[in-house]
Structure 1
Amino acid sequence: MKIVLLAVLGLILGALGGAAVGVGVGLAWVEIFKTSDFEGYGGMLVFFTFMPLGAMIGGLGGAFVFGVLALRDSEIAIEREQMHSRDNGAC
């Protein structure tokens, strides 16, 4: 269950981060390639193309990374054995 929850968390965080990166890349694309702003074409290109692509790629990547980390976490012992104090009878 922990693996699934971390994968969903990775999906959400990755989608948010990917959308932000997508907007940045889209704005850079519009500026570098001098995309026309006629009737808001530049804004539509950024928010209907680059942002969804960034969100999809970021979401899938985040879910994969968090899922792999959670899967490896179950293989590695997180809880260390507590050291048992030897009771010698001395106070």
Structure 2
Amino acid sequence: MKIALFALLGLVFGAIGGAALGIGAGLAWIEIFKTTDFEGYSGMLVFFSFMPAGAMIGSLGGAAWFGVMAARDDEIAVETESAAGQERR
């Protein structure tokens, strides 16, 4: 249950961070490639393509990263407890 909770937490944090990075990448794209601003085209490009793409990639990456970290933490805790029990004997 702990792994699933951390995966959901990573999904949320990853989506927020990915969206922010997507906005940054979109703004960089506009500046580098001199995208036109006619009728708000550059703003729509950033907020309708870069931001959602960044949020999707970030949420998947964050969920996987937090899930793997939670799973490894669980394995390490079990190994540490068994090693501590063997030293006492």
- TM-score if structure 2 supplies the norm length? 0.87
Alignment of 1:40-79 (within 5 A): 40-77=40-77
Per-residue displacement from partner, 1:43-72 (whole Å, max 9, x unpaired)?
A: 000000000000000000000000001111
Count of residue pairs brought into register by the alignment: 84
Where does 1:10-89 land on structure 2 (aligned, <5 Å)?
10-77=10-77, 80=81, 81=84
Structure 2, unaligned runs of 5 or more: none
Q: TM-score scaled to structure 1, two decimals?
A: 0.85
Task: Provide the secondary structure at the position in 2 that maps to 1:28.
Answer: helix
Higher-helix-fraction structure: 2
Q: What is the RMSD of the two structures over their aligned residues, measured on CA atoms?
A: 1.7
Shift of 1:10: 0.2
Structure 1 gaps of 5+ residues are 85-91
Partners of 1:16 and 1:77 lie apart in 2 by 30
Secondary structure in 2 aligned to 1:36?
coil
1:37, distance to aligned residue in structure 2 (A)? 0.3
What displacement does 1:9 show? Answer: 0.2
Partner SS, residue 35 of structure 1: coil
Distance 2:77 2:52 in 1: 38
